[in-house]
Amino acid sequence: MTEFKPPLEDMNFLLANVFGVEKLWQDIPALNEAIDVDTANAILEEGGKLASSLIAPLNRSGDEEGAIFDDGIVTTPKGFKAAFDEFAEGGWSGLCGDPEFGGMGMPKMLGVLFDEMMYAANTSFTLYSTLTAGACLALNAHGSESLKSDYLPHLYSGRWSASMCLTEPHSGTDLGLIKTKAIPNNEGSFDITGTKIFITGGEHDLNENIIHLVLAKLPDAAPGARGISLFLVPKINVENDELTTPNNVSCGSIEHKMGIKASSTCVMNFDESKGYLIGEAGKGLACMFTMMNYERLSIGIQGIGCGEMAYQGASEYAKERLQSKGIGELRDTTKEADPIIVHGDVRRMLLTTRANNEGSRAFALYIAKQLDIAKFSDNEIDKTKARSLIALLTPVAKAFFTDLGLESTILSQQVFGGHGYIREWGMEQLVRDARIAQIYEGTNGIQALDLIGRKVVANKGDDFSIFSNEIKSYISTFKTGDLADNKRLQSMFNHLEQSITSLDKLTALMLSRGQDGNEINGNAVDYLNAFGYASYAYMWCMTSISAVEAQFSSDNPYLENKLLIAEFFFARLLPKQQTYTLAIESGVESMMAMPNDMF
């Protein structure tokens, strides 16, 4: 099985050259005081060491052993507890947390890169910490000062962890149907009763307390989603900063899953468990969306991490595995067979995977940049624009990153041929671990509906126009800039211009069909995919300009490789956008024509 090698060169290039974080952080006082490029590089280097040397070696053994359930007690695989202790001791649980409560206060742009390395190293292990980070975000944004001071320091330190409790046996996407009840008691808290399913990290042995964020309904709650409130429910009660008595929170079972087997996916039972209201009554879904949107980006990054790990294994294997003779200059005439890296189809699979991974990484950083601006900037115009872009792009990130992540793991597995199907090489685990990312935290179909229904049609394309106009302005700047005569860049920017023009027309078409629910529902996924490829074209143009500029002062082969991957993307992957466009233009008549009983 391939050892994980953190892609630090690409990460540092994106931060410093493509997104110019030195100037960005200097222009935002709150970040200028907390971080600089050298510190960021040092943090990523240490994070990479942690991921590769401590966490990655537990990935295969954790998958084979899995989380174990025994009469309400969940035990994580051998080595997980010790690794988590070291993870927490290093302060990684609070990397992007609020410094007022013990967090490190690092920008999200650093956080997404650290998360990617962790997911690449060991997805199951990483899920325990990312759920905690999301819960901290929601608690910090909506909790009372007493709740924040009582719980955030221990969550940031890793002494405690957290879970997100939404889904019930009868209620998945439609949370308005939940039955969990919250009854006010005489202590100023609430008695929470109900059952939640599919709860990641709902029970485990990594730390001494688990803090559950639970959606429930008060007795006088309004019907549907308007009646949902959010509550903090500790596994063990807390008084005066000390753990006291169990809180009637129990794990009924854990799921037996296709992948992420070392991550405990729990059925959680609450039996008059003491809970504390977070935010306003009846506003729980809005509060929980603070956590859910964080987790959706995080799960998107899971797709990137699995794809990166898969690529590293496939690339290494393709350069060593001898099979058949190559054609043309790439073959070695002194040997009976060439490494399979010389064969066109293998190169297609590897280049597709690498273009997927690196385009996704850049787009994740772009979205993280908006999150940092919205959180830290003191410029209200910039903050408003950033919030619009975050709302628009979060569903794209979750769905597109994870779709491409699965594609990348499958292509990488295919490079191995029969060996890819064998456990010892690690590819089949990556395929299994990546698959869930398209399903949980809102299936990718739901993300697509969110994008086209809520983020485009519902606001008449206003947020989309902000993104589209930014891209068109970027193209205009290139055409009048110093690199306008560069033939390689000219070709890329021509493709980008065609792509955003096509997406503009497609968006206008969808807006014109906005009153037809079948058109919205039936075309949502194709629209998201068309949107995703256009967005990646923007990322690859940004990346390519930076690579050309860097070549003036460096002959680092990494820079030329970056341009070659960009050219592959524009030649072989961006054309997929037009396939989705043609499908949408054809309408949904053929999709809706068949009677239900004919399926």
DSSP string, 180-201: -EEEE-TTSSEEEEEEEEEEET
CA 20 to chain centroid, in Å, comes to 22
Question: At CB < 8 A and 24+ separation, what contacts does 557-563 make?
Answer: 558/9, 558/10, 558/13, 562/13, 562/358, 563/488
Known catalytic residue at 549: no
How crowded is residue 79: how many other Cβ atoms within 10 Å of its Cβ?
Answer: 17
Q: Which two tokens stand for residue 439?
A: 């399903």
Is there a contact between 287 and 230 (Cβ–Cβ < 8 Å)?
A: yes
DSSP string, 225-263: GGGEEEEEEESEEEETTEEEEE-SEEEEEE---SS-TTS
| 575-598 residues labelled b (16+ CB within 10 A) or e (exposed) | eebeebbebbeeebeeeeeeeeee
| CA dist., res. 485 & res. 134, Å (int) | 46
| CA dist., res. 74 & res. 84, Å (int) | 15
Residue 435, SS3? helix
- Name the amino acid, one letter, at 570: F
CA angle (178 as vertex; 172, 184 as ends), nearest 5: 145
- Name the amino acid, one letter, at 433: D
For the chain, the helix, strand and coil percentages under 3-state DSSP, each to the nearest 5: 65, 15, 25
How crowded is residue 148: how many other Cβ atoms within 10 Å of its Cβ?
Answer: 19
How crowded is residue 323: how many other Cβ atoms within 10 Å of its Cβ?
Answer: 13
Is there a contact between 108 and 96 (Cβ–Cβ < 8 Å)?
A: yes
Q: 202: closest CA among 147, 135, 117, 288?
A: 135
116, 295, 441, 497: the catalytic one is 441
| CA dist., res. 411 & res. 272, Å (int) | 49
| CA dist., res. 385 & res. 373, Å (int) | 9
- Name the amino acid, one letter, at 172: G
| CA dist., res. 35 & res. 41, Å (int) | 10
How crowded is residue 359: how many other Cβ atoms within 10 Å of its Cβ?
Answer: 27
User: Could you list the active site residues?
Assistant: 441
